[in-house]
Amino acid sequence: MEKRIGVLGIIVEDMSATTQLNAILHNYADVIIGRLGVPYREKNINVISIIIEGTAEQINALSDKLNEIQGVNVTSNLSKMC
């Protein structure tokens, strides 16, 4: 399978979800290139960007698992180039 580069945009609205979120990200560490997290204290949310490289199946599986967490919203954008 061909690997692609992409970005996951994550908004954490429920801070109690961070333990579960970090556990899932840890399990996918092999496809994560970088991570940037910004707490938006005025709105009581966290915004996280994850840069990933993996197969479309790996990236979709990660995105799906994160979307299952209550209080976490995820969007993904994958490159067209492999």
pTM exceeds 0.75, yes or no: yes
CA distances from residue 33 to 14, 58, 75, 81 in whole angstroms, order as listed: 25, 14, 17, 17
pLDDT at residue 80 tops 80? no
For residue 1, name the pLDDT band (cuts at 50, 70, 90).
confident
Computed over every residue of the chain, the mean pLDDT equals: 94
Query: In order of start, what are the domains of the chain with their CATH numbers?
Result: 3-78 (3.30.70.1150)
Q: Is the pLDDT of residue 10 over 90?
A: yes
Place of tokens 């990933």: 52
Structural tokens at position 77 = 């954008």
> What percentage of residues in the chain have a pLDDT greater than 70?
98
In the beta sheet, which residues pair with residue 50? 8, 35
Contact 46, 38 (CB under 8 A): yes
Confidence of residue 82 (pLDDT cuts 50, 70, 90): low
Please report, for residues 35, 44, 47, the alpha-carbon distance to residue 51 in angstroms, rounded to integers and kept in the order given: 6, 23, 13
pLDDT mean over 57-80: 94
The pLDDT, as a whole number, for residue 56 is: 87
Which residue, among 12, 15, 9, has the nearest Cα to 63 in the 3D structure? 9
